[in-house]
Structure 1
Amino acid sequence: MKIKAAVLNEPHKQFEIENIEVDSALQPNEVMVKVLATGLCHTDLSVRDQHIPARFPVILGHEGAGFVASVGSNVTKVKIGDRVVLAPLSCGQCEYCLSGHPSYCIDLWALNLPRARHDGSCPYHDDHGKDVSGFFFGQSSFATYSLTSERNIVKVSEDVPLEILGPLGCGMQTGAGTVLNVLSPVAGETIVIFGVGPVGLAALMAAKAAGCTTIVAVDIHDNRLELAKSLGATHTINSKIHIVSEYINEHVFTGGVHYSIDTTGRNEVINQAVASLRYMGKCALIAVPSVSKLEIDYGAFGNGKSIQYVNEGDSVPDILIPRLIELYKNGLFPFDKLIKFYELKDINQAVADSESGATLKAVIRMPQD
């Protein structure tokens, strides 16, 4: 079948809208989804910039939402017409998957980096018959149709706008899941979030929903800090002006906060995230790092502080995504306030606006003709 897709033909280049031929004969556990809209995530751009490896040409996109168009012979989880959100793929059989930690699946990267099918066949081809890599995070949703699997598809309710739900599949579940699943603050505890882009703001909203009473937002952009305040931040700090750890200790919470989250992947910021903690505080790292080494003063851990990298919010998507939707319906997770829509043909403008900071969360709508 013919589909339209945003194809990245080379590293460091712009996306090109192309006609792609995709196999419509599904393997037993595959699901074909007609994509309504998909989020643009920093991880997509990390492939473009070669921080994450890929075989080009490639179809990216990993925050898709849409309708089930067809199902393989063994699929029982969804049926044609169901509304779904697409999440990262995991094997479902290893120790980590079976114990409720699919984002640490033993085959996580083998399954989620752009590739062909497990049997080596490639279902995507351009107009010249050349193979195009797909299955990015199990979906490659920068396309009008996504070939995915039963394992990484989440059925969602009909009483919320489907076109806003795609970001719950990655960025939003990463930020919110880090708070709700990993840090697990109790009501009245304190947290600081470094970098209040879409992932950081998801963490902030989750912290508010969890009952944190001191929520500190840190960024270098005052407009983002103002938005963070409207979403629940009790304090905001521009890190261009203040040394954050000192400001927190002097003006926010003497002795530091219970938890910190870094969304930047920058060593100098991570050191401040750890320094902002109280004794036995915990720091979570959730950025795709742009450097190969984490460098931090060993002395920072002498008072029981800890640091942990978190994949995808350590979430079970079938559990967390419906919970986030319920929080949204009850006004406790208003992530739609971050979204700006773009059409598929304007995907490169969406990239530019995201990188400049003009847009917090770009969502790409697919043509439906």
Structure 2
Amino acid sequence: MTTALADSPTLQNSTAVRKARAALARRQQAPLAVEDIDIAAPRDDEILVRMVATGICHTDVVCANGFPVPMPIVLGHEGAGVVEAVGAGVHDLAVGDHVLLSFNSCGACPNCRSHEPAYCHQFMGLNFGGVRLEDGSSPLSQHGEKVHGQFFGQSSFATLAIARSVNAVKVDKSLPLDVLAPLGCGIQTGAGAVMNSLKVRAGRSLAVFGCGAVGLSAVMAAKVVGAAPVVVVEPSAERRALALELGAAHAIDPTRTDDVAAALRAASGGGGFDYALDTSGIPAVMKTAVDVLLPNGMLGLIGIPPPDAPMPMSIMEIYVRGLGVKCIVEGDAEPKVFIPKLVALYQAGKLPVDRLIRKYPFEKINEAFAAAAGGSVVKPVVTF
């Protein structure tokens, strides 16, 4: 059963199947196909959201180009929009609420109950499986055939999306959804890596490898917590310049530096760093990150290496130097708690995520995808 506002024509017949436009990934390494699909009414624990905007994340690109997900599928997992219908079991959201969508979690496993939903025991199935885990169904279809959805509990590359109350965060209606949409994954991951995972302290040094949306969000968060110095390693001149504007003290071009580790140590002012964060997933870069850590330093790993890549560090070296290594998922965030904090930082002018964004109309989603894949834009945002 679902509920909706009876006096609004756009919200009537909330139990009926809706028509939507969606960008379908039909096969690997092919353009997305913008087509009409059907979306079933939300179940008791679900909500129907009319999308206003969605960010494009590196994970979307990876899944469209090789990571094994079932196809055809509607990707997208940085959605933002307006609630159009709610299931009978949803009590914390109402029709008309503005929401930011984040990753899905079961809410019942020990990690979810301990406020660590990024490490939900069913994370992979809930976010990459393309179906509802309880019965293998999808709310999406086309001509009576299943279209996989539920990508990160939302599949936001569509004009309408089915999400769950657990992965929807209510925000004030005055806020720009087309700016805040990426908070649901990329921004949350980078900022959370600094604030939640590594718990970077004021006055301590941080090296950030890679200045995509995740790395630059880490730079902004490092400025918020008072880390110093913050040094970035990034081959793009434009991104290095942006990192400096957002709070980095130094920016190193690895393509023009013979010894990146030596350059980093010099820039640290103290022979190394208390914290290092790798967003690249490149084993050689991870090795450099280890090399520049001070004793008792902490390394955060966000970038995903090739599946057969060896661990690029010596266990003995980690042991004798007392180093910590933390693999980070979604910035160790509990979205309903952390996203409101990020929104407050944005409102205070301390998290200028608009500096990362370029907007594209939904009809140009493949152009936005190419910009994300090629790195010409830090954070493409598709608007509906």
Aligned to 1:67: 82
SS in 2 for 1:192: strand
Aligned to 1:21: 38
Residue 195 of structure 2 corresponds to residue 180 of structure 1: yes
Query: Is 1:217–1:237's contact at 8 Å kept on the other side of the alignment?
Result: yes
Moved more, 63-72 or 179-188: 179-188
Query: Is 1:263–1:287's contact at 8 Å kept on the other side of the alignment?
Result: yes
Deviation at 1:292, TM superposition (A): 2.9
Residue 362 of structure 2 corresponds to residue 347 of structure 1: no
SS in 2 for 1:240: helix
SS in 2 for 1:109: helix
- Structure 1 unaligned residues grouped into runs of 5+: none
Moved more, 202-211 or 242-251: 242-251
Query: Is 2:61–2:372's contact at 8 Å kept on the other side of the alignment?
Result: no
In 2, distance between residues paired with 1:70 and 1:251?
Answer: 53
Aligned to 2:170: 155
TM-superposition CA deviations, 1:220-257 (whole Å, max 9, x none): 11111001001001011011122222112234333211
| TM-score of the superposed pair, with normalisation by structure 2 | 0.92
In 2, distance between residues paired with 1:253 and 1:98?
Answer: 42
Aligned to 2:100: 85
Matches for 1:6-155 after TM superposition, within 5 Å:
6-24=23-41, 26-51=42-67, 53-117=68-132, 118-126=134-142, 128-155=143-170
In 1, distance between residues paired with 2:268 and 2:275?
Answer: 14
Query: Is 1:43–1:288's contact at 8 Å kept on the other side of the alignment?
Result: no
Tell me how large the CA RMSD over aligned residues is.
1.2
| TM-score of the superposed pair, with normalisation by structure 1 | 0.96
Query: Is 2:138–2:150's contact at 8 Å kept on the other side of the alignment?
Result: no
In 2, distance between residues paired with 1:71 and 1:252?
Answer: 51
Aligned partner of 2:229: which letter? T
Aligned to 2:286: 270
**Identical residues among aligned pairs (%):** 39
SS in 2 for 1:206: helix
In 1, distance between residues paired with 2:174 and 2:226?
Answer: 26
Aligned to 1:222: 237
Residue 27 of structure 2 corresponds to residue 2 of structure 1: no
In 1, distance between residues paired with 2:174 and 2:229?
Answer: 33
Query: Is 1:275–1:300's contact at 8 Å kept on the other side of the alignment?
Result: no
Query: Is 1:248–1:254's contact at 8 Å kept on the other side of the alignment?
Result: no
Deviation at 1:164, TM superposition (A): 1.2
Aligned to 2:375: 357
Deviation at 1:22, TM superposition (A): 1.1
Residue 352 of structure 2 corresponds to residue 337 of structure 1: no
Moved more, 294-303 or 155-164: 294-303
Aligned to 1:235: 250
Query: Is 2:265–2:271's contact at 8 Å kept on the other side of the alignment?
Result: yes
Aligned partner of 1:354: which letter? A
TM-superposition CA deviations, 1:116-175 (whole Å, max 9, x none): 22223332112x322100000000000000101111111112332122111000000000
In 1, distance between residues paired with 2:307 and 2:138?
Answer: 32
Segments ≥4 residues shifted beyond 3 Å: none
- Structure 2 unaligned residues grouped into runs of 5+: 1-17
TM-superposition CA deviations, 1:3-53 (whole Å, max 9, x none): 0000000011110100001112x21111000000000000011111222x2
In 2, distance between residues paired with 1:9 and 1:56?
Answer: 6
Aligned partner of 2:273: which letter? V
Aligned partner of 2:75: which letter? L
Aligned to 1:281: 297
Aligned to 1:325: 343
Deviation at 1:281, TM superposition (A): 0.5
